[in-house]
């Protein structure tokens, strides 16, 4: 089920990180789908969306690429070492 951008997930405050992550989750279709795409855990993504911690910069840049393309793309994975190694076959090219 897609996540509404207005959902706060109990985060401390809205930041560029939390807003970008919530939009990327909406694009991916679920928190689990985005976590799998980024090679992160659900627990990490949950903490980032609540504003408890910040994602590492390579992951945040991948999130920004997802939001900019409005899709999960191979380009978004270029700065992620884990993603570069696995190259998910379900990812579209840009």
Single pTM value for the model: 0.72
Continuous H helices in the chain: 16-28, 31-38, 42-49, 57-69, 81-86
Tens digits of pLDDT across the chain (94 residues):
444 444 545 545 789 999 999 999 999 999 999 999 999 999 999 999 999 999 998 899 999 999 998 998 888 887 676 654 444 444 444 4
Q: 72-91: per-residue pLDDT in tens?
A: 888 888 767 665 444 444 44
Distance CA 52, CA 71 (A): 26
């Amino acid at each position: 089920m897609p996540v509404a951008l207005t959902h706060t997930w109990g985060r401390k405050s809205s930041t560029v990180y939390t807003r970008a992550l919530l939009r990327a989750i909406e694009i991916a279709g679920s928190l689990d789908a985005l976590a799998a795409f980024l090679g992160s855990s659900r627990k990490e993504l949950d903490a980032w969306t609540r504003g408890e911690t910040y994602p590492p910069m390579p992951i945040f840049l991948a999130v920004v690429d997802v939001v900019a393309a409005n899709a999960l793309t191979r380009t978004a994975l270029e700065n992620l070492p884990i993603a570069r190694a696995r190259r998910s076959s379900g990812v579209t090219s840009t």
